[in-house]
């Protein structure tokens, strides 16, 4: 299977962030993402998770009870958060994530990923610099 550029399973539609260069406690970063059929197929191939709930509309409807058909892999949806953090703040360290899937995300759905800085540990560079203030 040739992956080429198809390895990027998500389509970025809009990104907003409160502080482009420096993140402060309580800052929020959010981005809209649309999950494509091709992206779900690539994720299934890369992850090895070929559950028919993700790949077969009929199976997802009849067996899974998902009336709109195929659902996006939960871990693919969850990958939005570290991806968003890395894209906006490359020096940030992603420490953890707790998941609760409240509703299915269907192929073609657009979701909004949002992260908020709850704690920022001072770095040596930040402690030695008096040029950044808010």
Structure confidence at residue 23 as a pLDDT band (50, 70, 90) = confident
Summarize pLDDT for 77-134 with one digit per residue, the tens: 999 988 888 888 777 777 778 889 999 999 999 999 988 888 777 765 544 444 454 5
pLDDT at 125: 54
Query: Environment class of residue 113 by beta-carbon count within 10 Å: exposed (0-12), middle (13-18) or buried (19+)?
Result: buried
Question: Whole-angstrom Cα distance, residue 32 to residue 12?
Answer: 6
Question: Whole-angstrom Cα distance, residue 67 to residue 70?
Answer: 9
Listed by start position, the domains of the chain span 4-94+105-126
Helix (H) or strand (E) holding 17: strand 10-17
pLDDT at 91: 74
Structure tokens at 5: 């550029």
What dotted CATH number matches 4-94+105-126? 3.10.129.10
Residues facing 34 on adjacent strands: 11, 110
């Amino acid at each position: 299977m040739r992956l080429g550029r198809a390895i990027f399973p998500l389509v970025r539609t809009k990104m907003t962030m409160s502080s482009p260069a420096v993140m402060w406690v309580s800052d929020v970063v959010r981005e809209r993402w649309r999950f494509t059929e091709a992206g779900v197929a690539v994720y299934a191939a890369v992850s090895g998770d070929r559950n028919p709930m993700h790949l077969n509309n009929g199976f997802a409807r009849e067996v899974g009870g998902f009336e709109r058909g195929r659902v996006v892999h939960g871990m693919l949806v969850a990958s939005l958060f570290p991806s968003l953090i890395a894209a906006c703040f490359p020096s940030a360290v992603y420490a953890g994530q707790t998941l609760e899937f409240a509703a299915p995300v269907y192929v073609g759905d657009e979701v909004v990923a949002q992260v908020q800085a709850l704690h920022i540990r001072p770095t040596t560079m930040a402690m030695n610099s008096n040029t950044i203030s808010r």
